[in-house]
Structure 1
Amino acid sequence: MRRGIANLPLHYGKAPPWLFKRMVELSKSIVELIVIEHGRRTFLERLSDPYWFQAFGCVLGFDWHSSGLTTTVCGALKESLKGLDRELGLYVAGGKGKSALKTPEELERIGETVGINTETLKDISRLVAKVDNTLLQDGYQLYHHTIIFTEEGLWAVVQQGMNTNNRYARRYHWFGGGLKSFVEEPHSGISAQKVHERITLNMTAKESRDSRESITELLKNKDILLREIESIETLNLPRRHDVRREDVDLKKLRETVKKVREEDIKEFEDVLRQRGMGPKTIRALALVSELIYGAKPSFKDPARYSFAHGGKDGYPFPVQKELYDGTIDTLKRAIAKAKVGDREKVDAIKKLSKILND
């Protein structure tokens, strides 16, 4: 897996209607060609690659630092697949703000329309959002969540968080194919403004494995945990602790633990599924597990460092409408011919790509 950082400062402005309309048309043609040539799995793999996603956005008319690349590209993709989703076997749910919160209901509607069970996808959608907001406490609050999936249940997720202090965004990519764990090094890539020297908490790191296992064991035996919570009330913690006593709301922690049904806890993913398991509760449990078992969590940032048609804000040059429309027309003609067995234009595009990459 390649990891990298792309600067994503939050600028003002949005894609004008004339550009968004073209983005929809061009993304539709690109998706069709990829699915025809390589299949749905490859398309989902590419979406889960932050470098490819960024390049995709640039082709659609966003320069590298344009505001809204993530939300607008996902929005254009969602719009482009309307009416084409059954033919390609690809579906999109979610979006920005309130649309993100309505993802489970949207998945339910798609399932009823297509005739597939989306319960697992709803659980995945909630879980990946919980991981990036609760287990990975890097200072970026999620405001965008999009899940793209097939009828067979293969999926990719693109979600984005905002840091209101430095006004930068961070994008999180997930791919379901071959995913071994939702809670340990699960991302296919993270696009971020910079690597922070330390973050509040990273429970997704391999170094946090002992901490995750300790928390799971504590919740399986919550009587022991409740006794330890009582003892913390009078405990003076040494300065070396990254999670401090003042960070812990013991009353809320106690109430949350009491509501947990021990039989529901088999692995750490089940801990995340419990009601009330927000960032503060996870930090408190990490502290308690360290005190009891000596299992220290990680505070390491998981991110790594890292214009075909112009940019929506005029940089590096204004979008050229005639060129953009010509690209859409060329791809549409290639798709139409490929569907009837004439691959001349598709092969020509492949040859052009090879020449440009040599």
Structure 2
Amino acid sequence: MTTRAGSADLPLHGGRVPHWLGARMSALGAVMAEAIVLEYGRDEFLRRLAHPFWFQSFGAVIGMDWHSSGITTSVIGALKRGLGPKARELGIHVCGGRGRHSRATPAELLAVAERTGLDGDALARASRLVAKVDSAAVQDGFELYLHGFVVTDDGRWTVIQQGMNGERRQARRYHWLSEGLESFVDSPHAAVEGRGQGTIVNLADRRAAASRTGQVALLAELGPDRIVAEALKLDGGGAGQPAPTPEPQPAQPLLPHLVMPRHEEVRPETVVARRLHGALAAAAERGPVDFPDLLMTPGVGARTVLSLAMVAEVLHGAPCRFSDPARFSLAHGGKDRHPYPVPTAVYDRTIAVMKSALRKARLGEAEELAALRRLDDQARRLEAVAEGPSVDAFMARERRMSPACGGRSVFGWEKGESDVAGPAA
């Protein structure tokens, strides 16, 4: 099995997550993580985090900018804040982060080990080695600046780290999973794949074993000064000498690799419309049956159930369902008004429903969690036949309704009265 689970290329994007959104992201992210653990177990949660398309969709559904590099920092931060108070209960510990938080990862892992009885030195070593492989052994032009390490009480872990290429205004995210780990340096990646951007040095490839061995032997025999001198002699030398014919190399399997566009706006081509229509139809059909109490609440209607349908898909969907992460931004919008301002009234109701479902499930009353699963099942069944508005029309309507739904962005509250009739939030 492979340990490098995938990668993602993202445009660099500045700005900060405002507190009013960050608090909501932490609350919804934590409750969704807890639901996954309750339904599928901790190992499955780690596998989800290690999948680049799922990770991007998860970040979008909790309200972060759907396409940007900031989704990585924001998701790691939201999970660290949200799951921190539940670490002992769930047995999941989120360590590291961006900048100085990244450098503190080994110390945090040692603290986790002291509380849980894990081998802290081994975890800290794994953290350092994973970072070294993606920063030194694989030289692809991206300098690491974020390192998140999620570990469970039984010692299994996933790592999400991100590098920056300032010249190209691009970030690259790397996902690792401890499951099946055999070696950090002998092909831990199933592949290193992305847009062609020049020559990549990959000393972690199994085919580079002879090179690694030779480098160590050369260092021991000659020392660093002699190696530098010999390298200077070789620089530009060998003119007229025929290059050796390279031996044919076996093909490597491809990992999931996500490439996000530079444009901020959600465009129709970034969303699979039939999946959106399935969620809309399921919200209308299952809402009155499965969420009657919710729909009786003043000001709450099919719009909240639509958000719940998208949350349910992130909880239960198969990997192939996350090929269009932009679609999940249609649940709770984005801080920069792309695809539209965050509908805070809808967002708060989504959190309330999820918290209620989890609270009851822990007491043995799993009906509300089961209702979310049925909502997701129905959305998938209806995709083939459901019809609905175009993606552009849906987003335009959401923008018009934004004031009535508590629309808010980094630019402030949306003002004015909604000029469109439709279901309540």
TM norm structure 2: 0.64
* CA shift for structure 1 position 189: 8.3
Q: How many residues align?
A: 303
Query: Which residue of 1 is the match for residue 317 of structure 2?
Result: none
Whether 1:354 and 2:377 are equivalent positions in the alignment is: yes
Q: Where do residues 213-228 of structure 1 align in structure 2 (5 Å cutoff)?
A: 213-218=213-218, 222-223=220-221
Query: Structure 2: how far apart are the matches of 1:223 and 1:319?
Result: 62
* CA shift for structure 1 position 351: 1.4
Structure possessing the higher radius of gyration over alpha carbons: 2
Query: Structure 1: how far apart are the matches of 2:64 and 2:150?
Result: 21
Letter in 2 for 1:137: Q
Query: Structure 2: how far apart are the matches of 1:145 and 1:129?
Result: 7
Aligned to 1:99, which of 98, 101, 111? 101
Q: 1:200 to 1:66 in 2, by over 3 A?
A: closer
* CA shift for structure 1 position 150: 1.0
Query: Which residue of 2 is the match for residue 186 of structure 1?
Result: 188
Aligned to 2:360, which of 330, 337, 345? 337
Report SS of the residue matched to 2:175.
strand
Any gaps of 5 or more consecutive residues in structure 1? 242-289
Query: Structure 1: how far apart are the matches of 2:362 and 2:176?
Result: 31
Report SS of the residue matched to 2:10.
coil
C-alpha contact 1:334 1:343 (8 A) present in aligned 2:
yes
Query: Which residue of 2 is the match for residue 173 of structure 1?
Result: 175
Q: 1:296 to 1:145 in 2, by over 3 A?
A: farther
Query: Structure 1: how far apart are the matches of 2:130 and 2:255?
Result: 15
Query: Structure 2: how far apart are the matches of 1:43 and 1:30?
Result: 10
Query: Which residue of 2 is the match for residue 51 of structure 1?
Result: 53
Query: Which residue of 2 is the match for residue 274 of structure 1?
Result: none
* CA shift for structure 1 position 309: 0.8
Query: Which residue of 2 is the match for residue 275 of structure 1?
Result: none
- 1:96-143 alpha-carbon deviations (Å, 9 max, x no partner): 101111111122222234443311100000000010110111111110
C-alpha contact 1:48 1:189 (8 A) present in aligned 2:
no
Query: Which residue of 2 is the match for residue 322 of structure 1?
Result: 345
**Identity of paired residues, percent?**
42
- 1:25-64 alpha-carbon deviations (Å, 9 max, x no partner): 0011101100111110000010010011000100110232
- 1:139-186 alpha-carbon deviations (Å, 9 max, x no partner): 111100010001211000000011111111000100001123312442
Query: Structure 2: how far apart are the matches of 1:189 and 1:356?
Result: 34
Range that drifts further, 49-58 or 174-183? 174-183
Q: 1:303 to 1:116 in 2, by over 3 A?
A: closer
Query: Which residue of 1 is the match for residue 301 of structure 2?
Result: none
Q: 1:105 to 1:3 in 2, by over 3 A?
A: closer
Letter in 2 for 1:223: E
Report SS of the residue matched to 1:165.
coil
Letter in 2 for 1:339: R
**Pairwise CA RMSD:** 3.4
